[in-house]
Every structure is written in C-alpha cells, then in structure tokens.
Amino acid sequence: MKNIALLFIAATFLISCGEEIEKTSISELNSEKNTLLNQIDSLNQQLKIVEDKLSKLDTTRKLHVVTVLPVKNEVFKHYIEIQGVVQADKNIEIRPEMGGTVTAIYVKEGQKVAAGQTLIQLDDSAIKNSIAELTTQLNLAKTTFDRQKRLWDQKIGSEMQFLQAKAQKEGLENNLASLKTQAKKMKVIAPFSGIVDEVFPRIGELTSPQTPTVRLLNLDNVYIEADVTETYLPVVKIGTETILNFPSIGKEVESKISQIGNYINPDNRSFKARINIPNKDNTIKPNLLADLKIVDFKQEGLVIPSTLVQKDQKGNDYVFTLKTENNENVVIKKLITISKEYNNEVFITEGLEATDTLIDKGARIVKAGDFVKINK
C-alpha cells in the first residue's frame, strides 16, 4: 500500500510537469502552487492513515527511540545586551587654589587618607610673615581701642577718636582673617576620605591652580554608565533589573537602573543609563568595561528549548509532543506561537499546555502519528 501511494504521488507530479503551463502571472502561479501543495498534503494524510494501519498490524515493526522533556512553567526574561564603562563620583585630580613652591609632601601613592587631611604644603613663608606683622599691629590697635572705649564710656574724649580706633581694629582683624584664609589655600587638603592614587609634583617644583597635584579616589561606591538606543525608552526605566559582567576580572553583579537620561544624543540616537553598584573590596576600577544585560521582557509562562522548535512547509513553528493511546506512545504535532527567544529558550504564548510532554532527542526523525519508544 505504501509503495502504491508513493507511485500515485510520483505520477501526479509527472502529469503536472507534463502539462503545458500557460499561466504567467504571479497570482496564477501562486494559485497553482497552492493547489499542488494541497494535493501533496491530502496524499500525505492518506499515506499516514495507511502507515498507521500497517504499523498496528505489523508486530515486527521497529519503533524510534526518543527522550522526553516536560514543558517548564517559569518566569522568562529577555535581555538587551550592551556595553558600559565604570565611573566613580569620587575620582578627582586635586589642584591648589593658589600657586606656589612645594615645600612638603605628607602622603605616598596608595596611602589611605581622611577627609580634611593635609596632603601637600606650598611655600607660605611670605604670608606667615605678613600675619606676624599684622598680628603685632592688631594687638596695638586692640589696646588703643580698649583705652578709647573706656574713656568714651566715661564721656571723656571725642567720639571721632573712639570710632577711628574701632575702625582700625576691625580693619586689621579683617586683614588678618584674609591672610589666614590665604595661608590655608597654600595647603592641598583631601576633600573626602580615599586613596592617593598618584602624586604629581616633587618637592621644590612650582605649582599653579591649572596644575594637578594629587589624584584621589574613593571606590567604595561606583556606577556604570551606558548608552541605550532610544528604541528601548518604553522598557528601560528606573528600577529595571540588570546583570553586570566584568570579563577582565571575572566578576558578575546583579543591580537595577538607578537613573536614566532625559536627553537623546542626536549623534547616535541614544540616552544615558546609570547603574549604581557597591564596591567595598575596590576590585572594580574606573574606566573598566562592563557587559550589561538589561531586562526588556519579563513574564511567567511556558518555556521550552529553542532547539526543539521546527518549521513546516507553510512557515509555521511546531514541536512534537507525546500522547499515550492504548498503552502506546503516539507523536503529536503542535503548532506554537513564539513571543520571545533568549539564551536558547523560547517563550510560548499559544499552542502548548503545562501538562504537555515534549519529544527531545529523536524529534528530527519522527513525524506526527508515529509510535515511539521512550528511552528512560
């Protein structure tokens, strides 16, 4: 019977090929193509019926051996994969507020320092001399003012003398405070606690506000900055889950989007995304490259391996499942609808149920209606 059916199919094709095809338009050719496909499907169905009957009557038939998998019902995540760069808010080059010659360097590279600690001292001898001179003048002015005040309180002397003494004292006090402020600016002070990464000048060198003296870092908290294409604006938001991988140091960190930019860069049509991460061990360094995975789809449902999905002649996706009938395992073809695919897994929205059993190994050598044996 099988050979007769095959001969019938071959004869049909020979007759079709032997006929003179006068149709030339695309619609006519497509119509004829669909007719032939329908004939093939119909003959395949008839052939399948005959083969099923033969397989049931043939006690010596050989069954294909397959393995099976259950359909997983779990949370499926799809990720956007981009690259980012590590940045640190506390990564600065400290410059002096005033120019001067370096007279002392109190720290070494790699040393931990506290906020407010003096790192470098510039030559402030001229300012100190001025402070000493002004302090002497201020002491005399205070003595003069105190005497004038006592006399004025007793209604002795003129008001003008009292006001002049007061103005001179206050003027000297302001000048002295200004000099002391300038003296403080001759010190390079750490604005926050951190590690001295680099000291630029040497003792005796001249520095200026345009010249960096110390690079200071605090890497306890760093962040990743990445450019995300504007296409993902609807799905990338503050709080979106991310996975950060640092291939250079073999480290992976889970985090969330901390901030997204409100500006679209016209050059590459992207916006900035920032992910804050803790870094207490200081293993993550500024400018280190990071591979980012940002979740753009997350939903609970049916998930299967993508390797089990096949396509039929009409372009439909399908899988083979197993059904037990009369103590025999029958192959069932099920058309499916795929929503997302990631990491060799697909998310199924239609066509499968959580109770279905998938054919795994052997799925490529069986067809719908076959009886198979399960390899356990």
> Of 8-12, 23-27, 59-63, 225-229, where does mean pLDDT reach its minimum?
8-12
Report the 10 Å Cβ neighbour count for 368. Answer: 14
The pLDDT, as a whole number, for residue 61 is 60
The pairing of strands 64-66 and 371-374 is parallel
Of the two residues 318 and 48, the one the predictor is more confident about is: 318
The pLDDT, as a whole number, for residue 12 is 53
Averaged pLDDT, 8-26: 52
> Of 9-13, 53-57, 153-157, 265-269, where does mean pLDDT reach its minimum?
9-13
pLDDT bin (cut points 50, 70, 90) of residue 217 is very high
Of the two residues 287 and 148, the one the predictor is more confident about is: 287
Rounded to whole angstroms, the Cα distance separating 96 from 91 reads 16
Reading the block at residue 241, the tokens are 């889950």
Rounded to whole angstroms, the Cα distance separating 44 from 150 reads 124
End-to-end alpha carbon distance in the chain = 34
166 to each of 12, 121, 160, how far by Cα in Å? 122, 36, 10
Reading the block at residue 136, the tokens are 């002497």
Averaged pLDDT, 297-322: 93
Residue 74 has pLDDT above 60, yes or no: yes
For residue 360, which of 324, 329, 322 has the smallest C-alpha distance? 322
DSSP per-residue letters across 17-68: HHS-----SHHHHHHHHHHHHHHHHHHHHHHHHHHHHHHHH-TTPPPEEE-E
Mean pLDDT of the chain: 87
Rounded to whole angstroms, the Cα distance separating 273 from 239 reads 11
pLDDT bin (cut points 50, 70, 90) of residue 20 is very low
10 to each of 19, 36, 50, 307, how far by Cα in Å? 14, 12, 17, 33
Residue 11 has pLDDT above 80, yes or no: no
Residue 86 has pLDDT above 60, yes or no: yes
For the chain, give the percent of residues with pLDDT over 70: 91
Reading the block at residue 190, the tokens are 């750490």
Averaged pLDDT, 219-236: 94
| Sequence-ordered list of residues with C-beta below 8 angstroms from that of 123, at least 6 positions apart, any chain | 100, 101, 102, 103, 186
Phi, psi of 115 (to 5 degrees): -60, 135
Contact, 172 vs 164, CB < 8 A?
Answer: no
pLDDT bin (cut points 50, 70, 90) of residue 44 is confident
Residue 16 has pLDDT above 90, yes or no: no
Tell me the pLDDT tens digit for each residue of 92-124. Answer: 999 999 999 999 999 999 999 999 999 999 999
Report pTM: 0.65
pLDDT bin (cut points 50, 70, 90) of residue 145 is confident
Contact, 352 vs 335, CB < 8 A?
Answer: no
Q: In one letter, which amino acid is 230?
A: E
Of the two residues 60 and 77, the one the predictor is more confident about is: 77
DSSP state of 201: -
If DSSP codes are grouped into helix, strand and coil, which group holds residue 167? helix
Residue 8 has pLDDT above 50, yes or no: no
Residue 160 has pLDDT above 90, yes or no: no
303 to each of 307, 338, 340, how far by Cα in Å? 12, 10, 10
The pLDDT, as a whole number, for residue 6 is 44
Biggest alpha carbon distance in the chain? 141
For the chain, give the percent of residues with pLDDT over 90: 63
pLDDT bin (cut points 50, 70, 90) of residue 14 is very low
The pLDDT, as a whole number, for residue 18 is 45
Rounded to whole angstroms, the Cα distance separating 261 from 228 reads 10
